[in-house]
Amino acid sequence: MAEKVLVAWALGKHEIEYRWVNLEASAGRVMVFLHEGLGSASLWRDFPERLCRRLGLRGLVFSRWGYGASTPRLPHERWGPDFMHRQALEFPPSFLAALQIDPRDRQVWFYGHSDGGSIALIYAAHHPDALKGLIVAAPHVLVEEITLESIRKARQAYLQADLKARLARYHSDPDSAFFGWCDAWLDPAFRSWDIRDLLPRIRAPILAIQGYDDEYGTMLQIEEIARLAPRVELLKLPRCRHSPHRDQPEAVMEAVERFFHAHGWMGGRGGAPAKP
């Protein structure tokens, strides 16, 4: 069941929807799930719980500001080309502190999907000692035309077809979620957005996942991560579009489990003391 916490950060005070999964596991080991550009806590469905039970750790699932049941973006508020940097650098420290999660005395992993993957990479580059590791699925590290073309198609579907009705199942204010994301990505200034210069600064090991049929990006995205970041494993999935955890859930969970085994993280080895 989702709860809410009030988080004060650079853009003001916002109520953030969140829920814990696999609470039976030690509180000293936490995987934080960062959703996609049109995602929310509920849109993950049961994937976080299934994965965390398999790995033997707790999961924290939440909706970023403007999404799900969190405080919506006001109609006049526009997200600029730096919106993912702001969501990565200004928000997580305040949110984690509000939930009494200190990466200095807990083991924390990030699992980021799409924009959430980019946010995870930005955070890891600026806080190189905060994460044990990160999994990024269909992340963006630069802007490709295929991405912009798919967002233009999504905008048309939102305005003229049933996309708004479908998003309303997962967002209390679908306009907040959709136009915050869409308008930022389609801003001409966003065309030069590029986070590749940050990748060499990431110390934590990375598992980067991409589907061959992803309509929002090509293999270039994760190949650039592997080229520039020091500790990267790649998973390239056939018959997989933009959401690997929905299109190929078993393959994703198997790869994450191998990733955890390879780094000695399974079975609570090396865990930090549990917190209440």
C-alpha 51: how far from chain center: 15
What pTM does this model have? 0.95
Indicate whether 110 pLDDT > 50: yes
Ramachandran area for residue 182 (φ above 0: left; ψ -120 to 50: alpha; else beta): alpha
Contact indicator for 218, 181 with CB cutoff of 8 Å? no
pLDDT value at residue 11 = 79
Alpha helices of the chain — where are they, by DSSP H?
47-55, 83-89, 91-98, 115-126, 145-160, 163-167, 174-186, 220-228, 244-247, 249-262
Residue 275 binned pLDDT confidence (cut-offs 50, 70, 90): very low
CB 242 within 8 A of CB 236: no
Residue 269 has pLDDT above 70, yes or no: no
Does residue 270 have a pLDDT over 90? no
Q: Which of 25, 15, 16 is nearest to 49 (CA)?
A: 25
Please write the tens of the pLDDT for every residue from 197-210. 999 999 999 999 99
Give the model's pLDDT for residue 267: 65
Residue written as token pair 């999660």: 101
Is 108 within 8 Å of 128 (Cβ atoms)?
Answer: no
Residue 53 has a pLDDT of: 97
C-alpha span between 76 and 56 (Å, rounded): 43
pLDDT tens, residue by residue, 119-166? 999 999 999 999 999 999 999 999 999 999 999 999 999 999 999 999
Please state, in angstroms and rounded to a whole number, the distance separating the CA atoms of residues 81 and 79: 7
Per domain, the residue ranges of the chain are 3-267
Model pLDDT, residue 250: 98
pLDDT at residue number 198: 98
Backbone angles phi, psi at 240, to 5 degrees: -140, 130
Topology given in CATH for the domain delimited by 3-267: Rossmann fold (3.40.50)
What would the 3-class secondary structure string for 33-46 be? EECCCCCCCHHHCC
Q: List all residues 6 or more positions away from 144 whose beta carbon is below 8 Å from its beta carbon.
A: 217, 218, 220, 221
Per the prediction, the chain carries an average pLDDT of 94
Per residue in 63-108, pLDDT (tens digit) is 999 999 999 998 889 999 999 999 999 999 899 999 999 998 899 9
Sign of the torsion formed by the C-alpha atoms of 252, 254, 255 and 260: positive
Q: Under a CB-based contact definition with an 8 Å cutoff, are residues 120 and 110 in contact? A: yes
pLDDT value, residue 80 = 93
For 240-263, give the DSSP string. Answer: --S-HHHHSHHHHHHHHHHHHHHT
In this predicted structure, the answer to whether residue 15 has a pLDDT above a threshold of 70 is yes
In the predicted structure, residue 274 carries a pLDDT above the cut 70: no
Using DSSP, state whether 182 is helix, strand or coil: helix
Measured distance CA(200)–CA(145) in Å, rounded: 25
pLDDT digits (tens, 9 = 90+) for 197-245: 999 999 999 999 999 999 999 999 999 999 999 999 999 999 999 999 9
